[in-house]
Amino acid sequence: MLKVKKQGKMDVSVQTPSTASAVAQEPNAFVKAVAEKKYEFGFTTDVETEIIEKGLNEEVVRLISRKKNEPEWLLDFRLEAYRYWQGQQQPSWAHVTLPEIDYQAISYYADPTAKSKEGEKKEIDPELMKTFDKLGIPLEERMALSGMAVDAVMDSVSVKTTFKERLSEKGIIFCSISEAVQQYPDLVRQYLGSVVPYRDNYFAALNSAVFSDGSFVYIPKNTRCPMELSTYFRINARNTGQFERTLIVCDEGSYVSYLEGCTAPMRDENQLHAAIVEIVVMDNAEVKYSTVQNWYPGDSEGRGGVLNLVTKRGHLRGVNSKLSWTQVETGSAITWKYPSCVLSGDNSQAEFYSVAVTNNHQEADTGTKMIHLGKNTKSTIISKGISAGRSQNSYRGLVKVGKHADGARNYSSCDSLLLGSECGAHTFPYIDVQNNTATVEHEATTSKINENQLYYCNQRGISTEEAVGLIVNGYAKDVINKLPMEFAVEAQKLLSVSLEGTVG
Amino acid sequence: MLEIKNLHARVAGKEILKGIDLTIADGEIHAIMGTNGAGKSTLSNVIVGNPAYEVTEGSILFNGQDLLAMTTEQRAHAGIFMSFQTPVEIPGVSMTNFMRAAVNARRQAQGKEPLKSTDFLKIMREKRKLVEIDQKLMTRSVNEGFSGGEKKRNEIFQMAMLEPTFCILDETDSGLDVDALRIVAEGFNKLRTPETSAMIITHYQRLLDYIKPDLVHVLIDGRIVKTAGPELALQIENEGFDWIKSSLQETV
């Protein structure tokens, strides 16, 4: 066990990477056979899908914009992003082995609803309804989970958004971003790219050029959103990328809890998912954003799986604003994701709770950035990494305290749990403090599931498999408890399933 | 009935048990005494099925079943229970969830349905009273932050929940004050049925004041060198093991 505690002082810049790789020293190690991981959502949907030709150039960007009937300013935004992207290099600093991505071999737009649109009435293909039913996301409002509105996105298009009317009675806007561009162009124009500019990074530029669908949420002043809002992302078509774009604006004195879920079919080749999520939180407003990410992780040999390259950021603009990110990451072949918070408003509070599980050949480089700019801002980071098989799991986080952020506080705790002796856990905390009234604490632990714990469980009649499930869920409990109830139950099951077969 | 024949075992390449013969009939209590490193804990770990110990020779039958061919959890399902000398902590797993998993795993092995939550909690309540263990401990993580006495009492509580037919108490008395010892021992006695048999590993007579053994065995250097009635424990308490060792040397 390693424990580090640091107190921030003026002009300190600390970078202390620590690495714990389990070395094969115990012949009796419990991880011997890494069995084929079960992936429940690996089916494909047979639906007529309009897919544009592979490849990326200005004409493709124009075509996407045209298909969505977008205004001029948005096309310009896309084109600027595209031109910027062309001059950039794919970043290589993350602790993952990103395969070379042939951006010309991907199709940037796939519409599974195209056929039904031709008809007179815009009816949803029953196959699509069935698909979401199978995923546990019923799109019939009468069948829906109580208290949850859903925007269902397949490939590049939003299939349906439920409870839109009921929410609009309160002035809440919840729809696909494509629809928002048509219906509320001023709102979209005001906020799009204001939190994550297209110049932010390589994948942000790519997304800004070719983004297709995602959700748009606007909560008007002094409104508590009466139900959970959620978006379910599904990749279906082959050789396509999904470029989700989500924008959430929570106005003064309001509250919303938002959930995101994602799955994809099992395929031998990698699929690209490069998303941007932007959140704006005004005075005295609060946003909770929860993700259960279960993209196809590839098979036990490391073939296929989704490349999840995502930029998520929230801007706490207002005083006393609050934002919390909670993520349970069990999927994807590669995860590159740092949901971040810019704490501009005085007394604003940000939280990041994360469980990242990697198994087989999965690689995750994930964490957060907490950028303290306002006075008396407070952030909390709780990260739990679980590595099994031959996977690599890294926490990478930045805590930055600006010159004017008097009284800023951060507490970070990064724990790694190793299952077996061929996986790796790594921690890369960066701390940059420029105000001597700030307090920054960082704790890190690395542990292995103890043979004695398993033996104790076995003696009480609990099988090793079940014991691992109990111990892992216990380890992740602090994070799971932050999820809304329905999600928490799902996440618990997902954790156990993701690690099935990791102990021999 | 537990029948051990010519048992040899080693751990980390070192031979610890060098031919143990021991039969414990239903309803009998046997005490095992001996110097440190004599093999007492090895014997209990081998019976229970700790994968770190390797049996090189001999057999163990439990009610006619070949124990050595069974996994640790199968042995537990067959009715074998050990009160650990140093119970391990399992952070984040509440005692209630842990016990539910254990009780239901055993029921599943017996082809029974899992207990309903309300029934399970009712049984928890009853057994808790029996061993005088605080309700607060049940919502905490398994053994985490428990005092030495609480850990030992928690072992007996688990025994109450799992209703084993053969129990090993591995130095359950170590680290307990007189009151805690009495509560633990009385708890054990309340749980005993006429069929329950037990193997009690101890250094001291005081636990045997509460739990009367039928036979006392002395284990030295991997072998049982002396077996007698309860009076043997008293004699060891007063005179130590040296007289047994020297009588051994004389016979050699």
- ipTM confidence score: 0.95
Question: What mean pLDDT do residues A60-81 have?
Answer: 94
Task: Note the pLDDT of residue A16.
Answer: 45
- pLDDT single digits (tens) A151-195: 888 777 777 778 888 899 999 999 999 999 999 999 999 999 999
- pLDDT single digits (tens) B66-95: 999 999 999 999 999 999 999 999 988 999
Candidates A28, A450, A460; nearest CB to B52:
A28
Q: What residues of chain A lie within 8 A of the CB of B51, using their CB?
A: 28, 451, 455
Long-range contacts, A162-168 (Cβ 8 Å, 24+): A163/A227, A167/A225, A167/A226, A167/A227, A167/A229
- pLDDT single digits (tens) A413-446: 999 988 878 888 999 999 999 999 999 999 988 8
Question: What mean pLDDT do residues A222-250 have?
Answer: 87
Can you read off the two tokens belonging to residue A34?
Answer: 């890494």
For chain A, give me the number of helices (H) and strands (E)? 12, 25
Residue A502 identity (one-letter amino acid): T
- Asked if residue A42 has pLDDT above 80, the reply is no
Residues sharing a CB contact under 8 Å with residue B137, sequence separation 6 or more, in sequence order: B95, B146, B150, B154
Residue A363 identity (one-letter amino acid): E
d(CA B5, CA A12): 68
Q: Which residue of B has its CA nearest to A464?
A: B73
Q: What residues of chain B lie within 8 A of the CB of A466, using their CB?
A: 101, 105
- Asked if residue A125 has pLDDT above 80, the reply is no
Q: In this structure, what are the phi and psi dihedrals at residue A137, rounded to the nearest 5 degrees?
A: -120, 75
Contact assessment for residue B166 and residue B79, using Cβ atoms and an 8 Å cutoff: yes
- Asked if residue B125 has pLDDT above 60, the reply is yes
> For chain A, what are the domain ranges?
12-19+41-102+116-448
CB contact under 8 A, A456 and B88: yes
Flag whether residue A25 sits within 8 Å of chain B, measured between CB atoms: no
Flag whether residue A463 sits within 8 Å of chain B, measured between CB atoms: yes
- pLDDT single digits (tens) B129-186: 888 888 888 889 999 999 888 899 999 999 999 999 999 999 988 878 888 888 889 8
Instruction: Compute the mean pLDDT over every residue in chain B, rounded to the nearest whole number.
Output: 92
Interface test with chain B among A31, A462, A472, by most B beta carbons within 10 Å: A462
- Asked if residue B216 has pLDDT above 70, the reply is yes
Closest C-alpha to A45, from A154, A193, A139? A154
Closest C-alpha to B193, from B151, B214, B224, B164? B164
DSSP string, A104-128: TSSBS-EETTHHHHHSSS-PPPHHH
- Is the domain spanning B2-251 CATH 3.40.50.300? The answer is yes
Task: Note the pLDDT of residue A18.
Answer: 52
CB contact under 8 A, A451 and B52: yes
Helix (H, G, I), strand (E, B) or coil at A102: coil
Q: Which residue of B has its CA nearest to A28?
A: B52
Q: What pTM did the predictor assign?
A: 0.80
Candidates B52, B72, B92; nearest CB to A475:
B92
Lowest average pLDDT, out of A24-28, A46-50, A388-392, goes to A24-28
Q: Which residue of B has its CA nearest to A456?
A: B88
Can you read off the two tokens belonging to residue A201?
Answer: 């990074």
Contact assessment for residue A280 and residue A348, using Cβ atoms and an 8 Å cutoff: no
Interface test with chain A among B46, B48, B90, by most A beta carbons within 10 Å: B90
